[in-house]
Amino acid sequence: MTDATFGRRLRTLRLQRGLTQEEVAGGEISTSYVSLLESGKRAPTADVVVKIAAQLNVAPEFLLGQRAEADLPDEDTRGDTAAELRLRLATADLLAGDADAALAGFSAVHAEAVDRHHRRSALLGMAAAAEALGSFDTAEKHYTDWFEQAGEPAEPDQRPDGWVPASLGLCRVLRELGRPDQALAAGERGLAAPDVADPEFLELAATVTELRQELGGPAEPPTATFEAARELATARARGDRYREAGRAARDEGRTTSALALARQAVIEYGHERTKARLAVVQAAHAYERFRVEGAGEEVLELMRSALADLGVPGAETVRAAYTAKHSRMLLSAGRLEAAEEAARVAGALCPLSGLTARNARLTLAEVLWELGEHPEAARIQEEVAESDVEEGRPNDAAKVLFGLADGYERAGDTAAALQTYRRATAVLNLTA
């Protein structure tokens, strides 16, 4: 947001609430400074944004144009500390990798909380916890329910708080369920109001880029997204400033300002989850560079360092997906033993179901064919094809069987190859 845009927004909100510039200043900043802000002649500091937001009774993110809900909770609901505490504890459980405890905590808040913001936050937490547990159908339902409750914003810049993480979660889940077209639509909806300073937005942008390419789009590395992520990774000290300011406000008895500062610290602070989101962008960038340039050492190192940063609780599925892609990169570079190790790590990270688990197993089979481990490779492909048929995906099953037949043919077993080609054709006839 430019200084002029901030100034116009500040003036509009002030006039809507019938406040004078002196009242907005609130004794903590000068009236002349408020006037300079409204005219766009000064840029507000983070602390000033929080102070003015408190006087306007709006969230700092709303004043900055980053969320649609203007008002802070009413005084009676602001005192619902039990729900707020349970939300924070459930979030801590989720970040620590205890998805079962997180799901229980979020579910309790959703069932009992009075404040709609708490209920909606709990619903989003339930979706994320279900996703972490590999319950993708349940996660899809919770994410979809969240969007129904949030409603469609009239304008892209009026998206409610949680819009991007909900879009990112739904996009990931639909992708795992084998519905890339719907995943792409969910991701593109989340990108409607871009904010390249937000790690979740950058991860969503990288994911959407990959989906477009998987669906036949051009292989274009998301360079701008990667550069924005790298820049953001060096700016995490903002979180420390908000956190310290929040503690000072709390100690001085300025509860409203302390709460707003604490919320902003969560948005800005460079904890492990932010690091992991930025690593997703780097991993996507590395893989698309591999598709364009090949498996050079610089590209392989870029992927290796991204995977190292993805080793946090709750990121197992996305780490498995990129570890499987790393295996393909190593296979292309002729590093067969390293490729096998990466493929087995990817399989161990995956939940028992979902697209990532399936693709990790197929990647391992591909590596095993190159290593001469033909029986294990063939067994994996047979199991995946059988599962595809059982789940109503005959086209996918046929592709796996064609790959299996190709493996037999390259291994010199023409009889097995011919028989498998016939089976693949028979499976395709199921859709005719």
Domains of the chain: 3-63 (1.10.260.40), 81-193 (1.25.40.10), 373-432 (no CATH)
Beta bridge partners of 127: none
Tens-digit pLDDT profile for residues 334-361? 999 999 999 999 998 876 568 889 999 9
Residue pair 63/52 in contact by the 8 Å Cβ criterion: yes
200 touches 164 (CB < 8 A): yes
**What pLDDT does 244 receive?**
73
Q: Which two tokens stand for residue 141?
A: 């339902």
Residue count (the chain): 432
What pLDDT score does 54 carry?
81
- Mind listing the pLDDT tens digit for each residue in 363-415? 999 999 999 999 999 999 999 999 999 888 899 999 999 999 999 999 999 99
Pick out the chain residues at pLDDT < 70: 1-4, 16, 66-81, 153-158, 193-198, 218-243, 254-274, 312-313, 351-353, 430-432
Q: How far is CA 129 from CA 315, 347, 377, in A?
A: 11, 21, 33
pLDDT at 385: 95
What's the pLDDT score for residue 140?
A: 96
Phi, psi of 71 (to 5 degrees): -85, 140
Distance from chain centroid for Cα 202:
8
CB atoms within 10 A of CB 216: 6
Give the per-residue pLDDT at 225. 59
